[in-house]
Amino acid sequence: MEWTPLPRMPQEKTPPADRGRVVATIIFTLGLGVLLPWNFFITATQYFNKRLSGPNATSNSTHTPKDYNYDSWMALLSQLPLLLFTLLNSFLYQWVGERPRVAFSFSAIFLLFSLTAALVHVSMPSDTFFSITMATIWFINMCSAVLQASLFGLVGLLPPVFSTLFMSGQGLAGMFAAVAMLLSILSNADESSAALGYFITPCVATLGALLCYLLLPHLEFARFYMNRSSSGDEEKLQELLGHSDVLTGDKEAEVQFTNVANETRRRSSIPAVFRKIWLMALCVTSVFGVTLSVFPVVTVRVETVYRDNPAWERVFTCVCCFIVFNAMDFAGRSAPSLVHWPSKDSKLFPVAVFSRLAFVPLLMLCNVKNTRLTVLFRHDLAFIAIMALFSFSNGYLATLCMAYAPQLVTFKDRETAGSLMTFFLVSGLALGASFSFLLGKLV
């Protein structure tokens, strides 16, 4: 019996080269831009606490300084909008285009940072300053939530190495902010001028990240992978069409072909995607929950034992808390480009993730100012060593979680997986920020 061959689909084009690694640089820059708001506010904790305890920071006629608990409120009001709007983005991304979401978010963050910079030279009551600062933190992180979820979805369309680059960029954001703060401390400028220069820096960086994003669709390498999201799993269809069983009328092969063809026309539901990535979602929640429960609320209270060295005491928190954390976090986020261990199927992976709980008591038992606990790790080097392991494991395990999750679903579901993982990442941040109130009271 003669058969008529089905028309063959054209062979899929070979992926173009990322000339000059321009796309890689842009993805890295976008990762940097996503976490700049959080890192610039968290690193400036000394500036905000000092201003809130200044001459206007009085709660009654006896001029008793008011305790605003800035660190805990900043952490909580950063993570709640991230949680709420990341969840919203997980359901609404199909109705709102990615480009307007990202462009609006970057623009709003730029304007809000400009407001923060302008307030440096504006004198006002501390209650008013605290309220404006908290509102600014809320709205900046609301935009950051939409921005982060959108960009994780975009990065999920690219080869897995770009997820590592994106996470590495996020790690550098913290280092970027910490170095900027150190330079402002060491500068000869007065405090107001140094703070103004510090907050202008993220304004410039945010504009640069927006321009990089707008350039991305004009690059051939990026277009190739971004356009694949609308064409489905062509490679599967091509493979099936190339088998003679389909062409000769084999019923089982025809059923398989039909199933794959239908799969390319629809995305899986959110619960269906979650069932495939739930372990990675739980792991990333744990990683960031542990981190935010003690950083920076507990870690910024650790003091140097060299109290007779004013120069070192002045920069101790910036160097040993923020620079050590961000440098090792960046190293951890970059390490998966060299090695992926444990693998996504290994039982050791969740064990490694949940073992990070040990860092909570370890950091609480360092040389914390006015602590109620027994200090076991008094020396600066002990604190630096614990912080280094704490931050490296944060960056390394979080990056593996975000890189592994898209590999567990079909190509068309990778954007959904990226958005869901971002939601659980932020859930961990919010959970950790909530626990920070309790841990801050315990020490």
pLDDT range class, residue 338, cuts 50, 70, 90: confident
Enumerate domains of the chain plus CATH numbers: 19-230+267-442 (1.20.1250.20), 233-266 (no CATH)
CA distance 162 to 25: 10
Per-residue 3-state assignment (H helix, E strand, C coil) for the chain: CCCCCCCCCCCCCCCCCCHHHHHHHHHHHHHHHHHHHHHHHHHCHHHHHHHHCCCCCECCCCCCECCCCHHHHHHHHHHHHHHHHHHHHHHHCCCCCHHHHHHHHHHHHHHHHHHHHHHHHCCCCHHHHHHHHHHHHHHHHHHHHHHHHHHHHHHCCCCCHHHHHHHHHHHHHHHHHHHHHHHHHHCCCCHHHHHHHHHHHHHHHHHHHHHHHHHHHHCHHHHHHHHHCCCCCHHHHHHHHCCHHHHCCCHHHHHHHHHHHHHHCCCCCHHHHHHHHHHHHHHHHHHHHHHHHHCCCCHHHECCCCCCCHHHHHHHHHHHHHHHHHHHHHHHHHHHHCCCCCCCCCCHHHHHHHHHHHHHHHHHCECECCCCCCCCECCHHHHHHHHHHHHHHHHHHHHHHHHHHHHHCCHHHHHHHHHHHHHHHHHHHHHHHHHHHHHHHHC
Query: Are 410 and 279 within 8 A, CB to CB?
Result: no
Count CB neighbours of 289 within 10 A: 20
CA distance 411 to 399: 19
Closest CA to 265 of 245, 223, 236: 236
Confidence at residue 250, expressed as pLDDT on a 0 to 100 scale: 52
Mean pLDDT of the chain: 81
Position 390 pLDDT exceeds 70: yes
- Cis preceding-peptide flag for 271 (omega within 30 of 0): no
CA distance 361 to 342: 25
pLDDT range class, residue 257, cuts 50, 70, 90: very low
CA distance 200 to 70: 22
pLDDT tens digits for range 6-51: 444 444 567 777 888 899 999 999 988 888 887 888 888 778 888 8
Q: Which two tokens stand for residue 7?
A: 């028309």
CA distance 63 to 78: 30
Residues contacting residue 411 through CB under 8 Å, at least 6 positions apart: 228, 229, 232, 233
Confidence at residue 303, expressed as pLDDT on a 0 to 100 scale: 93
Share of the chain above pLDDT 90, in %: 29
Position 94 pLDDT exceeds 50: yes
CA distance 431 to 105: 24
Position 3 pLDDT exceeds 50: no
Confidence at residue 255, expressed as pLDDT on a 0 to 100 scale: 52
Position 190 pLDDT exceeds 90: no
Share of the chain above pLDDT 70, in %: 83
Query: Are 70 and 435 within 8 A, CB to CB?
Result: no
- Number of Cα atoms under 13 Å in the Cβ half of residue 328: 19
pLDDT range class, residue 60, cuts 50, 70, 90: very low
Confidence at residue 243, expressed as pLDDT on a 0 to 100 scale: 46
Query: Are 323 and 175 within 8 A, CB to CB?
Result: yes
CA distance 424 to 23: 27
φ, ψ (nearest 5 deg) of residue 377? -120, 85
CA distance 198 to 191: 10
If one compares 189 and 143, the residue with the highest pLDDT of the two is 143
